[in-house]
Amino acid sequence: MLTLPKALNKWCDDVDCYLAVRHANEKINGESLGELLNKSRIRNFIVENELEFQGMIRQKEYDLVLGMGPAWVISRETLKFAGFWVNINSIPLPKYMGGAHSTWQLLNGDDIGSIVFQEIGFPVDEGRILKRFDFSYSLGHNSPLARLRENSKQLLHHIEEVMSILLKDPNVSQGFIDPSEAEFWPRLSTDIHGWIDWQWTSLEIITFIHAFGDPFEGAKTELLGRIIHFKEAILIEQRVFHPFSRGIIIRHNQDESIDVVVADGIIRLNPIFPQTIELKSLKGLRLHTPFDKLEKAKKSNLNSEDM
């Protein structure tokens, strides 16, 4: 959203950005997306709901509207008020539809990325595929933020080709999604779903921590009854430990990292400590996630009034 409008100025005389309230308030390096758009002098509008969005679109009569993770299902009525609607999907359709795309891909060890340009229409999510670009994530793309940046890089790399095609032949098509092959993954909240289960294997815990890493607050557990977060973790030793040993901090290193026992080894974590925890006496303490937190994470399914 920050970089695409400038690229589109080559083809479009009038480029506007529309943001739902929750998207406008999302933080990037401490600043909200709305603030960053204003700082970059990109004309933008914050809308409360789909009806308000419809009214603004109706006045503008755009030739082309590009969607980037819209907060609502665009209604048939709204679709009437612009010439052509295209959704930009940063997922390997028909996989990972829904929400929390990068987190789910990281959790499932999926390294295939895609930028898919799809016509918006009805039935929802079944519009024709206009253009698709597949690529692979590297080992360095081990956080949602790293994957977001790679998605943006891929989008900017291909946008000129796509715009040239759409302006010449808006009826271009690479076929349709097979609904029977679609996968839908729910939205996630780090606050609800980001709790570590210390009965998991080292790989499962490390993958989970990375999947809730930047730009999110990190996966979490409790220490001395207080919440502690992690964004990075590595396996430093493979060993088999008794279930009662799991979660115990066996070392507190000079660089403030901690070494923790898990089912099949020892992992090194870089914790984000709350100020209320004394850093000098962590050896021998246990990281623990209450059972009710783990149960709530599995039971909770986010439903947004915007969707």
pLDDT range class, residue 96, cuts 50, 70, 90: very high
Alpha carbon 8 to its chain centroid, in Å, reads 24
pLDDT of residue 304: 44
Q: Does residue 22 fall inside a structural domain?
A: no
Rounded to an integer, what distance in angstroms lies between the CA atom of residue 249 and that of residue 8? 52
More confident residue, 99 or 269: 269
Q: Quick check: 101 and 188 in contact, CB under 8 A?
A: no
- Condensed to tens digits (0 to 9), the pLDDT of residues 195-235 reads 999 999 999 999 999 999 998 999 999 998 899 999 999 99
Helices (H), 61-184: 76-79, 101-107, 144-168
Give this prediction's pTM.
0.88
Average pLDDT value for residue range 163-167: 86
What CATH number has the domain bearing residue 253?
3.10.25.10
Domain count along the chain:
2
> Max CA-CA distance within the chain?
67
DSSP structure string for 195-245: B--TTS-HHHHHHHHHHT-TTS--EEEEETTEEEEEEEEEEEEE----GGG
Please give the structure tokens belonging to residue 242. 């008794």
CA distance 289 to 223: 9
What are 76-88's pLDDT values in tens digits?
999 999 989 999 9
What's the domain range around 113? 4-13+50-185
pLDDT grade, residue 27 (50/70/90)? confident
**Residue 60 domain-assigned (yes or no):** yes
Q: Is residue 208 part of a domain?
A: yes
- 170-185 pLDDT tens trace: 778 888 888 889 999 9
Q: Please report whether residue 34 resides in a domain.
A: no
Beta pairing, strands 44-47 & 17-20: parallel
Residue type at 128 in one-letter notation: R
